[in-house]
Structure 1
Amino acid sequence: MPSTPLFSTYSQGENRVTSSMLAVFERAGLSLTETILAKASGESTLETVVFTNQPATGQGTIPDARIAADFTYLFEVKTARNAIQDPKQLTGHLKRLDEEQGRRTLKGKGFVFVLTPDPVRPRIVEELADRRLVWFNFAALHDAITAVLDDTLLAPSERDRFLLRELQALFEAEGLISHDDVVVVAAGIAYGEYLEGSAYICQPGRAFRERLTHLGFYAQQAIQPHLARILTRQDHVPFTHEEAQQREGNGGRDARIADLIRSSLETGAREEGKKYMVFLLSGPQDPETVVLEVPLVNDTVAASGRPWAWTMGQRYVSLAALRKPGVRTTSDLGTS
């Protein structure tokens, strides 16, 4: 049987990454692949090949040894963040897993691995709460490969080392393990507006990086504890009563923006007729909002030793760095 072509030429990123990963795992072999998946997922029960000396049997002769393998691994790979939104696809995979396992005489182990670039476990995976549904991100897979390459007991061959490093390079090139997924904005009044309305409003056309998942607020000389999930971002939104009325009829997120427009115009916080950029965010009590234990106090100083604002506009940092145990000040983040 021919092997899967190495580093597939699929033009679509998702297919290219999936096919390339499969090709490397195929060539690296089951033992290394199993170890990498176990480290990436934190799942300690992935043993799929069993070696037994003089296995007990119900009747008849006892062989000297037995090597058996009976398992199914299914993969759902997404290269865009927040792409796991519909439970039907994952429940379909679990049903297929049941069907495949049911056709086997020996009932083996099975897992549906969900691999995404998201910094946190997708909500759908949490809600399905099936132990066979195992999520991890590309950063965890990258770190697991590094751990295997550094393990002197495993001692991967030079060929396997080359293939695994090339796979890591592919993840890097595709932007799948970028760590700066939070934008922290200078927020004189914006933090209070967020606590009240679960949104952030700024000037139109403002440049933000792609692939952001959360938005935080720098106010009162500290990064405030609420890191809100970015639900949607819309630019050049006219703040007029006509726009609010039109959006209100659409319901959903448009209705939320309509409420923001009206409240902003009523309080005078925004000028009627002007356009703004609007971020709709998860609320302070929403489970999608990451809440730090304490505000991260700014201890940045200029060369002269005088205190210096951590950001006067916006700054990017990783969610992992913000949530790391022991982080209490901005210098603990280790950002430049």
Structure 2
Amino acid sequence: MEDLFELRNRCAHQDSLLGFDPSVELKKIIKLARWVDPDAGRWIGSIEQVTGVVDARPIPPKMNAVIIGDASNCNYELYRRVNALINPTARKIAPVSYLGFYHGQRIEPHFARILQVTVPTVWSTTEANRLKKSGDPEEKQLGKVMSYAIQAGFRSEESFEVYLLSPPDDPRTLRTSSERPIAHDKRGRGTAFAKGGRRYFSTAALMNASETSDLE
């Protein structure tokens, strides 16, 4: 329920939803419905029109990439190991096509294509093992990601979104023109790069930047 409070409040007060990905919020609603009644969740999934509306939007966002900030390299290491991001549901990510990583005063040089976003109904080792035995490639990959994430400390008491991403060497993954990280070249108080844990840019700007000041 807590995952949907902010969405509910913004809708009730006619506030902006630009910082939300409607497709992901829909998956949270279906997850809650399945928890109450599995048939209700399936029914909502069968009649929803959110996905079609999002896909048909006439003007895609100019800021089509999100950079996820991390005090450590935990998120980036998880991406390197299992090609995914585990995102706490409290951190809202707007609709974007690409995702990159910032840590250690730099943006890593590759920007992964977002292949799928999943909101698991169950987050546990048992569920991970079940998914890994699935004949569905996407479920098998989700099980692998979940298993690694649990071992890395992503606890079952929390709620997560799983972003499945193209690997670093995949042709769908974009890179900086220099193939080097983008250095954060500002220092001092108030110059933190990824306040709030994420920032949005166009992939064109990211691919041609060598320092974060080039993105301003």
Q: TM-score range by the shorter chain?
A: 0.5 to 0.7
- Of residues 181, 192, 195, the one that matches 1:295 is 181
> Alignment partner of 1:238: what SS?
coil
Q: CA deviation at 1:233?
A: 0.9
Distance 1:317 1:237, change over 3 A: farther
1:1-336 correspondence runs (5 A): 176-187=59-70, 188=72, 189-210=74-95, 212-248=96-132, 249-265=134-150, 267-272=151-156, 274-292=158-176, 293-301=179-187, 306=189, 308-312=191-195, 313-324=197-208, 327-334=209-216
- Once the two structures are superposed, residues 125-170 of structure 1 have per-residue CA deviations (whole angstroms, 9 ceiling, x without a partner) of xxxxxxxxxxxxxxxxxxxxxxxxxxxxxxxxxxxxxxxxxxxxxx
Amino acid aligned to 1:299: D
Distance 1:200 1:268, change over 3 A: closer
> Alignment partner of 2:168: what SS?
coil
Distance 1:176 1:235 in 2: 26
Q: CA deviation at 1:279?
A: 0.6
Distance 1:330 1:295 in 2: 10
Distance 2:91 2:210 in 1: 30
Q: CA deviation at 1:319?
A: 0.5
Q: CA deviation at 1:254?
A: 1.2
TM-score by length of 2: 0.65
Q: CA deviation at 1:273?
A: 5.1
Distance 1:202 1:306 in 2: 27
Q: CA deviation at 1:307?
A: 6.8
Amino acid aligned to 2:110: H
Q: CA deviation at 1:178?
A: 2.8
Distance 1:207 1:250, change over 3 A: farther
Distance 2:122 2:91 in 1: 15
> Alignment partner of 1:287: what SS?
coil
- Structure number with greater CO (CA < 8 Å, separation at least 6) is 2
> Alignment partner of 1:206: what SS?
coil
Distance 1:307 1:192 in 2: 27
Q: CA deviation at 1:272?
A: 3.6
TM-score by length of 1: 0.43
Amino acid aligned to 1:228: A
Distance 2:60 2:152 in 1: 42
> Alignment partner of 1:278: what SS?
strand
Q: CA deviation at 1:275?
A: 3.0
Distance 1:176 1:204, change over 3 A: same
8 Å CA contact retained: 1:204, 1:236? no
Q: CA deviation at 1:276?
A: 1.6
Distance 1:80 1:220, change over 3 A: same
Structure 2 unpaired stretches of 5+: 1-52
Q: CA deviation at 1:285?
A: 1.1
Distance 1:255 1:177 in 2: 31
Paired-residue identity, %: 29
Distance 1:220 1:230 in 2: 23
State the Cα RMSD in Å.
2.5
8 Å CA contact retained: 1:183, 1:216? yes
Distance 1:321 1:309 in 2: 19
Q: CA deviation at 1:321?
A: 0.9
Name the count of aligned residue pairs. Answer: 159
Q: CA deviation at 1:245?
A: 3.4
Distance 1:311 1:194, change over 3 A: same
Q: CA deviation at 1:224?
A: 0.8
Indicate the structure (1 or 2) with the bigger Cα radius of gyration: 1
Amino acid aligned to 1:252: P
